[in-house]
Amino acid sequence: MDEAISPGRISTPYFLLCGLVAALTATLVAYSLTYAFAWDEGFHLLTAQLIMRGKTPYLDWCFPQTLLNAYWNALWMRVFGDTWRTAHVVAALMSSGSVMLTVDYVYVRFPVKSWRLAASIACAFLVGLNILVVDYGTIGQAYGFCLFMIVAAFRLTVASAERKSLWLAALAGLFAGAGPAGSLLTTWVCPVLAIYLFLRNGAGNRWWKVAIFAAAAVIPFLPMIWLFILNPDVTRFNVIDYHLLYRMVQWEGAIGHDVNVMIAWIDSGDALMLGLLSIVGLVFVRFQSDWDKRQRSEFYLCGWLALALGAQISSAHPTFTRYFLLTVPFLGILAMAGLYSLTARLYSADRRLLPVLAVALLSTLDLVKTIRDGSDNFHWTDLERLAAKVNEVTPSNGVIFADEQVFFITRRPPPEGMELADSHKLEMAPALAASRHILTGTVLEKQVKAGRFDTIQSCGSDDRVKDWGYDKIYHKQAEIEDCTVFWDK
């Protein structure tokens, strides 16, 4: 993106760097097919499956997210099959693509040429083996998709500021808009990049560039705009109202939870290393007189992007540690300036091997330890066994009450209002609930006690098992891992 063909890229060191990223890609793909799992992704995969069946989010069921990642998953599922493995491999490849874009930026743009290869190798380990990227950049939610889009937007914006071409500005806006069209957590990337393009533009008309950037950023939202035209109330509810009014319903201790998330970095080795190195890097860039203004401005841009993303993520209530993976590529670039600064001051700038090996070793060991500690966690293969049991005990035309993952694996259409399990905690007037495709907990309890469902699947510490009397309604039950299947009314 910096040069059409860079002499630095046509070289043995760069090919070796690509080989390292390929190995990291293989690691991400392997992890995505084995350990990668998050309860929340079931809803996103079910949404993609429903889209494949011709249904429309918002209008046909409650989907309190932006749409682009769901349609992205549906596209690849249509090609390779609607399984969790398809979505996981695609997400892993998108995440590895963001790693490659980040590493390539360091290799081509790092101001100290003698450190470009060393810094890019260290950055590959620091970003590519970051536990948040590995854990959540490989699942069916929008993290991998958004990582690629925002890093691509960053690269294109930096390139656009140096060239007269309006096409680069348009592409930068398109990718910047695709991020929040996949997840609203990346919304602030657009204005930060637009401001940078305006202030740091060095060729061509800055007004035209920013205008085209902004116009292109709207394109990924056109499906949502169309749905808003068709039904503004329902679309607004899914995109805005749900998050402002209903996201914290029945979430006791949400503030305390958010505080714990804010300080979770203390217990994470890779987060400490990434954070401390990026802070040192930012301070170093601030007082580095040997780098020109353009070079420093790009590192400042990484800092502003990380700060904007961090502030937005912190303001989400409740928020989660996994959200902060969106800051990792930009902190990784800053961290390379910090690694160079510490090496030059405490050791020797000409001795690059030891600091690179230290970063690689610490990143690898932290990842291995985290995977080992979580090896006994729930996985998709456990859910496949659970779904097989549900299929076994339920008639082909039977009605089930289950988590989104079970609906997805069994390919059984969920009953109206049961596409989003979290929506059952909402309570609203019947007419409003019906218009929003919400099945409230009160109505659901009545349906359970009236024997509407042929089979019920429950996981974890579900108070409804006792409070709603599943064992009194059904004669048979089977336990699979931490889940129970009830059948035979």
Query: What are the pLDDT digits (tens) for 96-135?
Result: 999 999 999 999 999 999 999 999 999 999 999 999 999 9
Q: What is the pLDDT of residues 62-105, one digit of tens each?
A: 999 999 999 999 999 999 999 999 999 999 999 999 999 999 99
Q: What is the 3-state secondary structure (H, E, C) of the chain?
A: CCCCCCCCCCCHHHHHHHHHHHHHHHHHHHHHCCCCCCCCHHHHHHHHHHHHCCCCECCCECCCCCCHHHHHHHHHHHHHCCCHHHHHHHHHHHHHHHHHHHHHHHHHHCCCHHHHHHHHHHHHHHHHCCHHHHHHCCCCCCHHHHHHHHHHHHHHHHHHCCCCCHHHHHHHHHHHHHHHHHCHHHCCHHHHHHHHHHHHCCCCCHHHHHHHHHHHHHHHHHHHHHHHHHCHHHHHHHHHHHHHHHCCCCCCCHHHHHHHHHCHHHHCHHHHHHHHHHHHHHHHHHCCCCCCHHHHHHHHHHHHHHHHHHHHHHHCCCCCHHHHHHHHHHHHHHHHHHHHHHHHHHCCCCCCHHHHHHHHHHHHHHHHHHHHHCCCCCCHHHHHHHHHHHHHHCCCCCCEECCHHHHHHHCCCCCCCCCCHHHHHCCCCHHHHHHCCCCCHHHHHHHHHCCCCCEEEEECCCCHHHHCCHHHHCCEEEEECCEEEEECC
Whether residues 345 and 438 share a domain: the answer is no
Whether residues 423 and 295 share a domain: the answer is no
The residue segments making up the domain with residue 170 are 12-373
Whether residues 364 and 417 share a domain: the answer is no
- Averaged over 124-152, what is the pLDDT? 96
Question: pTM for this structure?
Answer: 0.93
**Overall number of domains in the chain:** 2
Whether residues 311 and 342 share a domain: the answer is yes
Whether residues 167 and 231 share a domain: the answer is yes
Q: What is the pLDDT of residues 397-456, one digit of tens each?
A: 999 999 999 999 999 999 999 999 888 888 889 999 999 999 998 999 999 999 999 999
Whether residues 300 and 393 share a domain: the answer is no
Whether residues 290 and 259 share a domain: the answer is yes
Lowest average pLDDT, out of 53-62, 299-308, 475-484, goes to: 475-484
Is the pLDDT reported for residue 5 higher than 60?
A: no
Note the pLDDT of residue 461. 79
Whether residues 348 and 418 share a domain: the answer is no
Whether residues 92 and 239 share a domain: the answer is yes
Mean pLDDT of the chain: 91
Whether residues 21 and 145 share a domain: the answer is yes
Whether residues 280 and 397 share a domain: the answer is no
Whether residues 168 and 231 share a domain: the answer is yes
- Averaged over 373-380, what is the pLDDT? 79
